Amino acid sequence: MAPSLRFLLLLPATFFFMQTLAEAATCSDCFTQSQAAYYPNSDENGTDTGRCGYGSFGATLNGGDVAAVSALYRDGVGCGACYQVKCTNSYYCTDDGVTIVVTDQGSSGNTDFILSRRAFSRMGQTTDAAASLLALGVVDIEYRRVSCSYPYKNITIKIDQNSNYPYYLAFVIWHQQGRRDITAVQLCETQNFACKLLDRSYGAVWTTTSPPSGPLSLRMLFSDENGDETWVVPVNNIPQDWKAGETYDTGVQVNS
């Protein structure tokens, strides 16, 4: 066979192989193999002292189907992300598993997830299967990131109790929809549009000293795994006389 002909015959197969590798490396819907445990002292829901800063809201968010993560915490950027988690033992486990929300940071052995007792049990096919999974303590799982969905809920701002008007403002962001991360937050004065970039104190908690004055327009930067970024400006402002402990509906949902 002539060298040129051999090259022409090999090229399509090589190209297909390289294309397959590239698709596998960028597959955002593929499952990753790992292990999961559960909070041993959890009644049913998650903890109200999680490292994402949600407080008691984080224990019952998503009906209590929540989890602590290790590497997926990503210095707090991973807070609020949703994952489909399913155990792999076909004798005990359902096909779909459970969808959890990240509310805490933690690890146990080689696990990527520490689920609430409720979420861990929901991976079982029956009540007896759930009891068997709980008895195992740690199970093999598959997981992938999925979109968070909070029907009839807008992204909400919860002012931290430690905030001190008008000198120090801290808040946590609730009901983060979709499958993108909030990677930056700005507060802007609505009259002169002067903006200030906030600090991520920890988890989903954003803080600033000497916050802008007057009614405040919030700007959130949403980023996806491909590097695409979009600034989202809610329709509702944080009122001029904001108060510690109050919650404010932004009037916006970000589901894509």
This prediction's pTM: 0.88
Q: In tens digits, what is the pLDDT along the chain, a chain of 256 residues?
A: 444 434 333 334 443 434 444 444 457 789 999 999 999 877 688 888 999 999 999 999 999 999 999 999 999 999 999 999 999 999 999 999 999 999 999 988 899 999 999 999 999 999 999 999 999 999 999 999 999 999 999 999 999 999 999 999 999 999 999 999 999 999 999 988 899 999 999 999 999 999 999 999 999 999 999 999 999 999 999 999 999 999 999 999 988 6
DSSP string, 200-255: EEETTEEEEESPPPSSEEEEEEEE-TTS-EEEE--SSPBPTT--TT-EEE-S----
